[in-house]
Structure formats: C-alpha cells, structure tokens
C-alpha cells in the first residue's frame, strides 16, 4: 500500500511539473500580429539617419529639458521595431526607470524621423532595435543653465 501511495504522489507531482518542461523555448525571430517576421538580428542593422552620433544628439535634444527634480538617474531601455520602410513601431519599455521618464523616452522615439531599414539577404526587413536612454540630473541642469545664458545674450 505504501508503494502504491508513493507511486500516486510521484505521478501527481510529475504531471504538475510537466507543463513547465513542455514550454517552447523562445525563437531567434518573433512574429507580430500581421504575421510578418521580425528579426532579432539582420545582416545589416537598421540605422538612424546619419548614424549613432546624430541619434545621440537627437535624443539629447528631446530629453534635455526633462524635469529631473525628485526623479532617479539611470537608464530606460526601449525596444522597438524598425520596419522595411524605416518606420518605428511597437515601442516597448524593457527596463523602466520611472513612469514619466519612461514616457519621455517613448515620446522621443516616436518623434524620430524614419530610419534606414535593416536588410537581410539583400532585402529590407523588420528588425528589433534596443535603445538605452540615459537620464541624468547633470545633463538636464547643465542644458537649462546654457539655455538661460543664451537668453541673457
């Protein structure tokens, strides 16, 4: 009788954990609702017009006047899709810092011009892009004091 009850317990616990082992592992490529494949990595990555330096200048121009009083410093990490036409879609916050700062980062990305799309096998492709957006009290206070100095002249 003891071995039978042990078998029942073993069977119950095995069935309870079976779904955890049956989970499918994430694939390198994901699909959106329109069934178009979105690549995690393309042969040629999408690019902001002009490259990284203009991207950083653009972001700085959009976040430099952010009120950082009583807000933490740090990085918001965004994920978005750059489509075959260079349009930005499906912006998501992967690492949040603070809701208003997250929103500021999203608005900055929404304001971006179309990107140069990524390509795979010689054809434009939808590609995920990951973008860290840094918020610092020094940057926002320095930019505000520079703006005040320009206005005095």
Q: Is residue 63 part of a domain?
A: yes
Residues of the chain with pLDDT under 50: 2-35, 141-153
> The domain spanning residue 91 has which CATH number?
3.30.1150
Q: Is residue 1 part of a domain?
A: no
Q: Is residue 18 part of a domain?
A: no
Number of domains in the chain: 1
pLDDT of residue 46: 97
pLDDT of residue 139: 62
Q: Is residue 11 part of a domain?
A: no
Integer angstrom CA distances of residue 64 from 102, 117, 119, 130 = 14, 27, 32, 21
pLDDT of residue 11: 37
pLDDT of residue 150: 46
Full domain range(s) for residue 42: 26-152
User: Distance between CA atoms of 78 and 131, rounded to whole angstroms?
Assistant: 5
Q: Is residue 134 part of a domain?
A: yes
pLDDT of residue 138: 80
User: What is the pTM assigned to this prediction?
Assistant: 0.69
Q: Is residue 67 part of a domain?
A: yes
pLDDT of residue 5: 40
């Amino acid at each position: 009788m003891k071995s039978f009850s042990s078998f029942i317990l073993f069977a119950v616990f095995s069935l309870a954990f079976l779904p955890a082992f049956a989970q499918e592992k994430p694939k390198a490529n994901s699909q959106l609702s329109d069934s178009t494949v979105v690549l995690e990595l393309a042969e040629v990555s999408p690019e902001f017009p002009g490259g990284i330096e203009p991207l950083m200048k653009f972001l700085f121009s959009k976040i430099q006047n952010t009120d950082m009083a009583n807000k933490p410093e740090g990085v918001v990490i965004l994920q978005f899709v750059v489509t075959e036409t260079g349009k930005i879609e499906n912006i998501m916050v992967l690492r949040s810092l603070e809701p208003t700062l997250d929103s500021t980062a999203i608005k900055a990305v929404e304001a971006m011009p179309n990107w140069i799309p990524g390509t795979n096998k010689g054809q434009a492709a939808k590609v995920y892009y990951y973008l860290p957006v840094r918020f610092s009290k020094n940057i926002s206070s320095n930019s505000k004091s520079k703006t005040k100095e320009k206005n005095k002249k």
